Amino acid sequence: MGTAVDTFDVAGRATIRSADGAFFHLAAPIDSGAPLATQVSHELLQRRLAYVRPFPGRERIEIAAAGDVATGLLRSLEDSGVAATVINADTKHAHGGLLLHVAGSPAERTQFDDLPGEGTAVLRCYREGELAFIDPLSLSAQDPTASQVLRRRLAASPAATELKTWLDTPAATAEIGLRSPALSLVTARLLMIIAAWQQDSPALPALRRTLWRLDSATLVATEHPVLPFPEPAKLVDSWPAPRR
């Protein structure tokens, strides 16, 4: 994150522009080589860091993904100033924080559906051929689950039977494994959602109801609303015995 500031005069007033686009007027002229410039740069950097500092309880990010994918995501997050750790998907998850889950197969997508109801946010992404998907961010049991996202997709698809059948074939099992620039776009979207969650951004409600889809061949990204719905009551094995 840059600390340099631009200094210039506006109608005779010493003015600085911070790296994040904010402008400030100073009471005295500023020399870019003077110690005051260094002090201003430091104070502006601290101001910027305070703005993006995670809310209490939203510092911990964990990644559940296969080998190279996990390593790549971890590096991308760290390069963006986001601390994260890689966990084994089979390990019992500690409640709290956010789990970034890269599902390698359709069957794995529901693996962490219970965590939001226990206080852990879940952000899920996966690949279907040349298409990459990021599910709505799930913060509570009232948010769409992986199963509900799929059922919404099937309901909206003109080829629902074919899609459902294809998802049961080995061809539907694939790691993210995208090449740049598609992988960069997916990573940028994940980082944006994580930042919105950590800072409790006004964009958060929309992200909890939006399925994001990227065509890696054309780089066309689309957003699709996904609303949660009440699950049907579980069927019982037998009817209650009649009263006598």
Domain ranges of the chain: 6-52, 61-225
According to DSSP, the residues that pair with 85 across neighbouring strands are 62
Residue range 139-181, pLDDT digits in tens: 999 999 999 999 999 999 999 999 999 999 988 887 777 788 9
Query: How many Cβ atoms sit within 10 Å of the Cβ of residue 38?
Result: 13
Burial of 216 (0-12, 13-18, 19+ CB in 10 A): buried
d(CA 81, CA 98): 16
| Mean pLDDT for all residues in the chain | 83
Higher-confidence residue of 173 and 91: namely 173
pLDDT of 124 above 80: yes
Class (C level, CATH) for 61-225? alpha beta
* Phi, psi (degrees; rounded to nearest 5) at 98: -130, 135
